[in-house]
Structure 1
Amino acid sequence: MPVGLFTIIGVTAGAAGAVVLAPLALTAAGFTSAGIAASSVAASMMSSAAVANGGAVAAGSLVAVLQSAGAAGMSAVVTAGAASVGGAAGAILGGAADLLKIFY
């Protein structure tokens, strides 16, 4: 089965959009270059992680990785991951649009 035009557009837009919007989402959640913002989603996550680990946030945990990305910017690996997830989401939406195009 050939890949439809909307699928190709969805993958491209999803990957590019995820790479552009991921840093904005990190900042909005409270993972900033100055550290975790007070009274934010990030602060709540950090508090929960610290309670679960006996007072410290474990290295390599989700909170630690997101804080690192917020503070230093996204590494090539994190950028590739964001692009992959965005591309997959775009492929699903684009594929659905291609299927609807067949019936309508």
Structure 2
Amino acid sequence: MDPFSALAAVAGGVVAVVAAPVALGAAGFTSAGIVAGSIGAKMMSAAAIANGGGVAAGSVVAGLQSAGAAGLSGAASAAAATVGGAVASVASAIF
């Protein structure tokens, strides 16, 4: 891997880890709960309707709220960095 691709992969990983909490907050998944009228609230409503009134533990909505409330765990940060790095690496190969 050339130095530019390596740098792009690292930068992509860093951006993914930093951007994930910002994206969660923007979608309405915050430490205070899901923000009324947000995308998160709409997702929660749809999940509750589909599950007979409650949001299932381990569901996507529950996971996103957990990450929004507590921040990313070490494993989630590593996964976000890996995905971000891979995307940046592919992008650097294209451009």
Q: TM-score range by the shorter chain?
A: over 0.9
Percent identical pairs in the alignment equals 57
Q: Is there any run of 5+ residues in structure 1 with no aligned partner, and where?
A: 98-104
Note if 1:26 corresponds to 2:24.
yes
My pick for the range that moved more, 23-32 or 76-85, is 76-85
Over 6 Å off, 4+ runs: none
Greater Rg by CA: 1
Give the drift of 1:4: 2.6
TM-score if structure 1 supplies the norm length? 0.86
Deviation for aligned residue 1:6: 2.9
Contact 1:45 1:63 in 2 (8 A): yes
Q: Deviation per CA, 1:5-62, whole angstroms, max 9, x where unpaired?
A: 3321221111000011111111000000000000000001101111111111111111
Q: Aligned residue for 1:43?
A: 41
| Unaligned segments of structure 2, at least 5 residues | none
What value does the CA root-mean-square deviation take over the aligned residues?
1.0
Q: TM-score, normalised by structure 2?
A: 0.94
